[in-house]
Amino acid sequence: MNSSQCTDKLDTFTLGPLEAGPACCDPQPAIQVRNLSLLYDGKAALDKVTLDIYQGCITALIGPSGCGKTSFLSAINRLTDLIPGCNVTGKILVHDQDIHHPDTHAQTLRRQVGMVFQKPTPFPLSIRRNLSLPLNEHGITQKTEVASITEHVLRDVGLWDEVHDRLDASALSLSGGQQQRLCIARALALKPQILLMDEPCSALDPLASGIVEDLICRLRGRYTIVIVTHNLAQARRIANYAAFFWVSGRAGQLIEFGRCQHIFESPSHELTAAYINGVRG
Ligand SMILES: Nc1ncnc2c1ncn2[C@@H]1O[C@H](COP(=O)(O)OP(=O)(O)OP(=O)(O)O)[C@@H](O)[C@H]1O
Ligand SMILES: [Mg+2]
């Protein structure tokens, strides 16, 4: 399989139900981060992070609490714009486009770069409305198109059989795992190329966590996925690449990045080895 075949897989809506994603193959960078520093009220949370995130792959961000993993994700789709006192410097290119260029609109960027949070965050509306609302807000209002996308993304996340006969029930009536899959479906509905996931399984019981993890695996190849996880076994199971962050001099820094096997089996940096082996962190 070559990289163009990987890219071909990115259009969700030409595909049927989920297939196993292909393994990463000679990937190109989808996100290029250069010298990213981030401050909250003048206090550094990230210091000069430089990192490439590869297209069609799963990249796990690992590291102890407070090392800036969530801040890093928030910078990529400019959620940081919404935080008063947050200042971001450095360059981030998403598919070669500078996200801070005046021509880049945050709403367009966030359509391209979807986000899933730690705690499932369905709107307190019906299951159907959770999907139609963001579509409507992005100008997709034609009923048959909205219905078709709704069915497609619910099938994509394995929820269709569970909810197709109660689409008008409240999303809050779903279990936690179902709510999280609905949130992933909501992100997929806007046809993003990139999915940012901040500890998407940590609020779920082991069974629901396993289902969501399996879903994330099957999205590999079709989406570029950046996932924050404290579950190192999970990172090792699902990610192609891992980036290890650490708080150094009070600000989060990227210590090491590489193929998962390298990071987990023969890390180059002693801090990575100590963290992986549970000695530090
Ligand atoms: N909105 C905010 N205002 C001020 N400081 C913040 C804000 N968000 C995060 N921080 C600080 O920035 C640093 C990095 O936080 P961040 O949430 O990015 O870490 P994290 O690696 O995601 O941690 P965790 O694993 O606990 O989720 C921390 O010192 C945190 O207190
Ligand atoms: Mg976090």
Lowest-confidence region among 25-34, 222-231, 240-249, 264-273: 25-34
CA of 190 to the centre of ligand 1 (A): 28
Which of the following CATH numbers is that of domain 3-276: 3.30.450.40, 3.20.20.105, 3.40.50.300, 3.40.50.280? 3.40.50.300
- Taking the model in full, what pTM does it have? 0.90
The rounded distance, in Å, linking the Cα atoms of 133 and 227 is 25
Neighbours of 60 (CB within 10 A): 27
**Mean pLDDT confidence for 128-150:** 96
CA of 70 to the centre of ligand 1 (A): 7
**Mean pLDDT confidence for 95-102:** 96
- Sequence-ordered list of residues with C-beta below 8 angstroms from that of 8, at least 6 positions apart, any chain: none
Chain segment 199-246, per-residue pLDDT in tens: 999 988 898 899 999 999 999 999 999 999 999 999 999 999 999 999
**Mean pLDDT confidence for 2-29:** 42
**Mean pLDDT confidence for 15-44:** 75
**pLDDT reported for residue 15:** 27
**pLDDT reported for residue 26:** 66
* Percent of the chain scoring above 70 in pLDDT: 90
**pLDDT reported for residue 91:** 98
**Mean pLDDT confidence for 85-107:** 96
Angle 174-178-184 (CA atoms, 0-180°, nearest 5)? 125
The structure tokens listed for 124 are: 């307190």
Residue 7 has pLDDT above 90, yes or no: no
**pLDDT reported for residue 27:** 79
Residue 140 has pLDDT above 70, yes or no: yes
Give the binding-site residues of ligand 1, using a 6 Å CB cut-off.
40, 45, 65-71, 83, 252
Question: Which atom of ligand 1 is found nearest the CA of 68?
Answer: 18
For residue 39, give Cα distances in angstroms to 42, 65, 196: 5, 17, 21
Mean pLDDT (the chain) is 90
CA of 164 to the centre of ligand 1 (A): 38
Confidence of residue 24 (pLDDT cuts 50, 70, 90): low
Q: In terms of Cα–Cα distance, which of 114, 107, 121, 198 is closest to 156?
A: 114
